[in-house]
Amino acid sequence: MDIEAEARRRKDALGLDEWRMREYVSGTPVPARIHQLCEQIDLAAGALSRMSRIPEDFRDDIYWPRCW
């Protein structure tokens, strides 16, 4: 689904895979801020996918948590 792909793209932009690999290798946990943003992205994706009519511009930043 396109919404799931957009959520994955946003997580990739945070470097989530690198953080998880670092956690696996060194035992240092993923920073709380990154973890929280990923949870917020998942919540936004879930809310968008449950809408009766998914907006055509669902990729717009207005629908997603700020990641800066």
pLDDT by residue for the chain (68 residues), tens only, comes to: 799 999 999 999 999 999 999 999 999 999 999 999 999 999 999 999 999 999 999 999 999 998 76
Beta strands in 13-63, from DSSP E residues, in sequence order: none
Half-sphere exposure of 53 (CA within 13 A, CB side): 2
Per-residue model confidence as pLDDT tens digits over 21-33: 999 999 999 999 9
Q: How far apart are CA 62 and CA 68, in angstroms?
A: 14
Instruction: Provide the mean pLDDT of the chain.
Output: 95
Q: How far apart are CA 57 and CA 62, in angstroms?
A: 9
Q: How far apart are CA 21 and CA 60, in angstroms?
A: 29
Whether this prediction's pTM lies above 0.85 is answered by yes
pLDDT of 68? 65
